[in-house]
Structure formats: C-alpha cells, structure tokens
Amino acid sequence: MVPQSRFRAAPLLAALLSLPLVAQGMDPSDPDYDPLEDDSLWGETVSPEDTQTTSPELKFLLEEPDRIPHHHQNQIRITQSSLEDGWADLRQCHNDVAAIRRMVIVYNEEKIDELQVESTRNIESARAEGDRVDLRGVESDAEVCVTARMKIVEHEGDGVYRLENGPFVRRFLDGYFPMRVTMAVSWGDLDLRLEETQPEEQDGFDVVASDHGFVFDTLFEGELRTLVRLRNSH
C-alpha cells in the first residue's frame, strides 16, 4: 500500500513530548499512507550510537539482537464481505514500546473504522477517538492492543486477492533498528489458498500456511514491504 518511504520531521509527532531528539514519521495526509506499516509513529528513546544500520536495504536477521526489538503483531480476519468490499477485521498489538510521556498514533481515516483500544500494559491511559489513539504515561515494557476495521483486501480479478503492506520500519533520525513483525491472516472456511508471498519464504522470513490462513514472522532491519496473493481454491 505504501510504495515508497516518506519521512518528515517532528510536526507529525508533536505529541511525543518527551523525545530527546527529533523524531521522523510518514505523512497521514498522503493518500498512500498505511497506518499498519507506520511503525515510526511509535518513536524510540534511543541513542543514534545504537543504530544497527544507516541503510534502508532490507536485511533479515537470524539471531536476536542484544536489545529486545519492538514487536509489531497483526491479526487480520477475512470474511466473505471482505472479498466484496475490501474491509477486514484487524487486531494489532505493539510490544516493547519505548517509555514515552505521551504518544499519539494517527491512522488513515479513509482506511480505518471502528477503532478501539482493546487492552494495555504499563500505560497510564489510552483513548481511541476517530482515527487516532492517544497514549499517556507509557512506561517500560509497555504494550497496547487495538481493534478496528481496515480496508486492506484488493480484488485483482480471476479469483485472486491482493494484500499489500509496507514499509514496516523502525527508523530514528538516519538510523534503522531491528524490528520483529508477525502477521496472521485467517479466512475460516472461505475457499481460499495462499498463492504467493513477497518476500518468499527464506531464512529469516518464515511462512506457515494452512487451509484456513497463514502466518509470517520475521526479524529484520531496514525497510520491509510485503505482498500476499490469495486465490480461490476452485
């Protein structure tokens, strides 16, 4: 959904009051903006000296880094109506969120609906309103989970459906940091099968598929873009 990286300075993240350095993030007004992939909105109280790389080039990691990486978990449920109108059920969790006094997560209002905070851990307050979630008093080892309806399924024709996401990225100033992404997509008893993933399954990018869905899990640094195609089984 996001064909290229778009970053700008602090105005987008003005709510991140405690950040000691200038944060960068995507522009929610961009028509291609995808909140699922704008992980830079979470900021990070880190030193540039801790940067793993200054290149956006994707590199899969086969070992966990010393510092526990941010974990971006997504569960997407596709129904028959999703195949018709593109809207799917989303449950999204962010684990190991950095301790920040205040944080505002802004979603694309055209692609998100029924946004609600499901649960939090080590966060003083969390409130969903419209296309954003306002977090206050974020402490160490924090987690926030939200639920929503998200427009993510695109019909390509001939029984093929496309889910495109990216970039997934943990970026601060000019540095890129390790990040873990888990994506679980389920379609129940719908007559679908996984036809293709980009990147394809490889060391560092694990894909497990069944008759009812699939999961991919990856640890990486740089920028990750994914494309998934589903096809009617018959």
Q: What pLDDT digit, counting tens, does each position of 86-145 carry?
A: 999 999 998 887 777 887 777 778 889 999 999 999 999 999 999 898 989 989 889 999
Highest mean pLDDT among 93-97, 165-169, 204-208: 204-208
Q: Check residue 52 and give its pLDDT.
A: 59
Which residues touch 227 (CB under 8 Å, ≥6 apart)?
162, 163, 164, 165, 196, 197, 198
Six token digits for residue 80: 């028959």
For residue 20, whether the previous peptide bond is cis, meaning omega lies within 30 degrees of 0, is no
**Which strands make up the sheet holding 223-232, listed edge to edge?**
154-157, 160-169, 223-232, 192-198
Which of 25-34, 55-64, 220-229 is the least confident region?
Answer: 25-34
Report the alpha-carbon distance of residue 106 to residue 73 in Å, rounded.
17
pLDDT band at 68 (very low <50, low <70, confident <90, very high): confident
Query: For all residues of the chain together, what is the average pLDDT?
Result: 79
Q: Is the pLDDT of residue 50 over 70?
A: no
Mean pLDDT of 1-20: 27
Report the alpha-carbon distance of residue 148 to residue 143 in Å, rounded.
17
Q: Check residue 149 and give its pLDDT.
A: 95
Whole-prediction pTM value? 0.75
Q: Check residue 192 and give its pLDDT.
A: 97
Q: Is the pLDDT of residue 196 over 50?
A: yes
Which DSSP letter does residue 204 get?
T
pLDDT band at 151 (very low <50, low <70, confident <90, very high): very high
What number of residues does the chain have? Answer: 234
Q: Is the pLDDT of residue 146 over 90?
A: yes
Per the model's pLDDT, the better-predicted residue between 13 and 119 turns out to be 119
CA nearest neighbour of 105 among 126, 75, 74 = 126
Mean pLDDT of 43-50: 45
